Structure 1
Amino acid sequence: MASNALDLTAAVWRKSSYSNGSGGECVEVASDIPGLVPVRDSKRPDGPVLLLAATAWAPFVASVKTTCA
């Protein structure tokens, strides 16, 4: 049976520049997946990953900034 799961084992993750190093809210994204922006909690690297269409990334970030402001 074929799997349609996305293999992110080779993804290059980078932490948000807004993340502080003292256990705060830390978000990582991988930008090397064509057409997608995977997002995860840096404190749970083996946890769930939110997959956003690359075209949805800017609206997602704008919404978070508005909500958290």
Structure 2
Amino acid sequence: MIGHCASAIGIDAPHEYGPRRAGDAVALVSGSQRACDELGWIAERLTLGLMFADPWRWHQTGGYSG
């Protein structure tokens, strides 16, 4: 995840790997099939690069100002 994010935004953020903390998830799994089935939603951002680049671009242009 860190590598995909760094590639998408062009910044290699400092980070440290350490032991899992109490309460940290062992694994994270997601999918969009239920949203598609129940809401008719269709995913447009199909790669991690796009998923990171879009909000970064939004943030760089001022983001939410409300």
TM-score per shorter chain, which class? Answer: under 0.3
If each structure's strand is expressed as a fraction of its own residues, which one has the higher value?
A: 1
Q: So what's the TM-score if we normalise by structure 1?
A: 0.25
Bigger RCO (CA 8 Å, 6+ sep): 2
What is the TM-score with the length of structure 2 in the denominator?
0.26
